[in-house]
Structures are given as structure tokens and as C-alpha cells.
Structure 1
Amino acid sequence: MSSSDIFIGETIGTAVLILLGGGVCAAVTLKASKARNAGWLAITFGWGFAVLTAVYISAPLSGAHLNPAVTLALAIKDNDWSNVPTYWAGQLLGAMIGAALVWVAYYGQFLAHLTDHEIVGGPGAQDTKAVEAQEAQAGPVLGIFSTGPEIRNAVQNLATEIVGTVVLVLAVLTQGLNDGGKGLGTLGALITALVVVSIGLSLGGPTGYAINPARDLGPRIVHALLPLPNKGGSDWGYAWIPVVGPLVGGAIAAGIYNVAFA
């Protein structure tokens, strides 16, 4: 496959992934959404179906990595680093496009949610100290775009992201989803989607299971740039964990694969 195919495939696939995955988070979170308060099951299955759709769309062009941790693991496994920058660039751009499309699709709901005094507070909530606190911490809709911990403990949060990503990437490597058709082929898309649902149900509680650096970083950048009223901060102090954790997890999974399965 050519570099242009890889870039286009990863951009489109990751955009679809974030559009549908972020979309289910918006549907469950935002005021005036018909699916508001649908709960964690809706989010986990929504992300699983998002993976399924994105993989089927992008696999013919790029092999459907859709995740820098998967790309890193495959590079370690095959000792081929030539296309890693192209994959990563497409994934980050696609994630940003997908997040922007979530904003477009739910534009009215974002405005209703972020101008509701019960959610963002009354006029007194916008004093200097409150604004400074909002800029430092996660705003009221950041969870639609990126992840955050329920208990802020860097070691635990990092470990959770590493463990979840090891499970995901081992599942991808052992089924041969991106191995030139030698493995399970298109059936692997369904298996990967179910693995993502399983990780969300079992390991998603502590951090929201980013398990994908582009999935978290791209939408976090978009959150910081979008003209949303009362959107609060983008929680950049936490942002390194859903980037570093999945990359470490991907590398560990590749090491396990090379020792145990290769």
C-alpha cells in the first residue's frame, strides 16, 4: 500500500471512529439529547460499534490501525518503521476531524448544555478564581472529547491505560487483523470491536479507557480550540497519561507477542 493510501485510510477511519465514539458520549452527556443518561453500557457498546465501522471502512486502504499504539506494536513486531510517521499523522488528523464533526452534529445540544446554570453555574461562577480553576481542570463537556480519571493517581491511571492497551494490542496481533490477510481478515474487525467493548466494561471505570493516544490527544486539542461557551479547561496536566500509557502498552504487547507467539 502507498503512503497516500495509508494517510487517507487512517484519516478517514480515525475520523469515523471518533465521530461515532465521541458521538455516543455526546448523546449520553448533553442536555436535550434523546439518549441523555443512557449510561456506561451505551458508551461501551457505542465505542465498540465505532471501532467495527471504522475498521471496515479503512482496512482496504491502510490496514485499519486507527491507533498509534497498534502502529507502534506492528512496527516492533515486523521491524519496519518506514510508515509509522504516516500512520500517526493520519490518525491524529482523523481524530481531530472526528471530534469537530461531533461538535457540528450536536451544536445545539452543546449550547443548551453549556448555558444551563444548573450545569455551569450562575453569573457568580465566572469570577477570576473560578475561571482559573476551570482552565486547570476538566470542563463540563471534556469527557465527550477525551478521557479523565475518577481518582487522580498518576501511577494507577498510567497502569490502567497500559494494561488495557496490552489486552487490545495482543488481541489485534494474535488474530492477524493487519497481517496482510494471513489472519482472520474481516472477521477480525468484529473480534476487535468486541474486545474494545470488553475492555470498556472491565477496565474502563478508572480512566475512561483511552487505549489510543490519537483518540485522546486529537479531540483534546479540538476541545481547546472550539468556541464553546463556559467549556472550562482541557486538563492538560493529565493529557500525557492517555498518550504515554497506550504507547507503553503497545510496546509491551509487541514484546509479549514476539516472545510467546512469533
Structure 2
Amino acid sequence: MSPFLGEVIGTMILIILGGGVVAGVVLKGTKSENGGWIVITAAWGLAVATAVYCVGQISGAHLNPAVTIGLALVGAFEWSQVAGYIVAQMLGAMIGATLVFLHYYPHFKATEDQGAKLAVFSTDPAIKHLPANFFSEVLGTFVLVLGILAIGANEFTEGLNPLIVGLLIVVIGLSLGGTTGYAINPARDLGPRIAHFLLPIPGKGSSNWSYAWIPIVGPIIGGGIGALTYAALFEGIVYSALWLFLAAFALVLLYASFIEKKHEAKGKDQPVAMAK
């Protein structure tokens, strides 16, 4: 199997199991309905571990453009392979999301809540506040990539690393995921969001494209800062790209703040409906 196909298969498995647990918890009539956040975060962690076990020896199991870019920034991955890996991750995520839809099809029909249907595919903030949402995705992915590199520097019993990475996903979800649903992976969010847009999901509603840039830009910047910070602190190598990514973080945060203020001003300008 080629590394490209390995990333397709690995990301597909990740979304089948990760999107699958969300579907089981939020869609109507499933046996795991209302299972709660602990169930979702635990399953996502196990989903990552399973996917890494499946394709780690084939592609390195990046499964995430933020990880791929972060590793390339610190010289741990060839830039010439970055685009191919990201395409593979997107394809795998779309295939995985489609399989989740087919698996839960009767439950999509039984569910009226359009937000719940979208949640199976992509993330959405608990409270929409673009600067805070962006910061949440940056911080979560910073911890993810920094943690992955730190875990890789340790010696564990053979074959245990994927499980430790899975536990890292669990703790990120439990500690930081309650704000935005912790995409921390552009392919995990964008691929299924495209699938949501294209699939004939009964009564699906909007794919919420106005928010879609947050779980793309936030993880890429956060992952880059995480990898470059690890190199600076643990290896003593300060790449010039670190300052570029910190500057990008500041600029995007300012842009998100500007958009948020415009939305707030527009909301204040809306006329108040007269009570009947």
C-alpha cells in the first residue's frame, strides 16, 4: 500500500469512528442517544489510536493537514509530499463521512434538528465568538502537535505510542473541546462538511460555510506554532517560520475580532420587534 492510500484509509477510519460516535449520540432513535460528551471524547481518542495502528507503518498516520504541515516545518517530513498527503486526508474524510451517513440513514430521517445533523459531519461553536473560537482551535492544535512530538521523543513499550496519542486526543477533548467541538484537524472538518453539502441528507439545512474557515485556519496556525515551539524549546532550534506563524496568529485574531465587532454592531442596529 502506498503512503497516499494509507492516509486515505487512515483518515477514513478516523471519520467512520469519530463521526459515527457523534451520530450515535446526537441523532434520534439510536441506542446511544444522549450518551454525552465523555462518550464522544473517548471514542474520538480511540478512533485516532485505531487509525494510527492501521496505517502508522505505511504513511506515518498523519491523518491531519495540521500535523503534516507542522512536521514539514521542522524538517521531519518532506515538503514535496505535503500536498499529496492533504489531498489523501481530504478524500479519506469525505469517504468516511459518507459511510457514516449511510450507516445512520434512518436516524437522519428521524432527526428534525438540522444542527444535530451538521454536528455529525463538522464542528460548530457552543457560543459563536470568532476571536475566541479561533483561539480555541489554535490552542487545541498547538497542544496536539506539541504533544505528538513530545510523545514521539519518549520510549514506550513497542506498539504503545498510538494509544498514548489517542489519550492525548481524549484529554484535549475533555479540557479544551467544549468551546468549538475541537476540530484540531482541517480535513476532519472540511472533508465531512463538503460531504454534508453534497449528500442527500433529509432536511439537512445549511452547511454553515461562514464558520468553516475557523477549523481550517486555526488548526494550521496552531499546529505550526506547536511544532516550531517544540523545536525551539526541546531541540534548541529556532526556525524563522516561528515568527511568521506567530504574526499570522496575531493578524487572524485581529481580523476575527474585526468581523465579530461588525456582527455585534449590525445586531445592535436591528430594529426591535413590537410586542403584540
Match for residue 205 of structure 2?
Answer: 232
Match for residue 144 of structure 1?
Answer: 120
Could you tell me whether the CA contact under 8 Å between 1:140 and 1:232 is conserved in 2? no
**Aligned length in residues:** 233
Which residues in structure 2 correspond to 1:76-225 (within 5 Å)? 76-78=73-75, 80-114=78-112, 119=113, 139-176=115-152, 184=156, 186-225=159-198
Shift of 1:183: 5.7
Match for residue 71 of structure 1?
Answer: 68
Shift of 1:176: 2.1
Shift of 1:255: 1.2
Residue identity matched to 1:152:
K
Matches of 2:164 and 2:203, distance apart in 1: 40
Shift of 1:140: 3.8
CA deviation string 1:178-236 (max 9, x = no partner): xxxx9656322111100100010000111000000000000000000110121010000
Could you tell me whether the CA contact under 8 Å between 2:55 and 2:61 is conserved in 1? yes
Could you tell me whether the CA contact under 8 Å between 1:6 and 1:86 is conserved in 2? no
Could you tell me whether the CA contact under 8 Å between 2:66 and 2:186 is conserved in 1? yes
Query: TM-score w.r.t. structure 1 length?
Result: 0.86
Q: Which runs of 5+ in 1 are unaligned?
A: 121-138
Matches of 1:31 and 1:101, distance apart in 2: 18
Match for residue 43 of structure 2?
Answer: 46
Matches of 2:110 and 2:164, distance apart in 1: 38
Q: Which runs of 5+ in 2 are unaligned?
A: 236-276
Higher-Rg member (1/2): 2
Could you tell me whether the CA contact under 8 Å between 2:26 and 2:116 is conserved in 1? no
Query: TM-score w.r.t. structure 2 length?
Result: 0.81
Match for residue 244 of structure 1?
Answer: 217
Other structure's SS at 1:144 match? helix
Residue identity matched to 1:261:
F
Percent identity (aligned): 55
Match for residue 24 of structure 1?
Answer: 21
Residue identity matched to 1:250:
G
Matches of 1:195 and 1:232, distance apart in 2: 33
Shift of 1:175: 2.1
Matches of 1:169 and 1:183, distance apart in 2: 18
RMSD (Å), alpha carbons: 1.5
Matches of 2:103 and 2:203, distance apart in 1: 19
CA deviation string 1:127-148 (max 9, x = no partner): xxxxxxxxxxxx4410010000
Match for residue 56 of structure 1?
Answer: 53
Residue identity matched to 2:171:
S
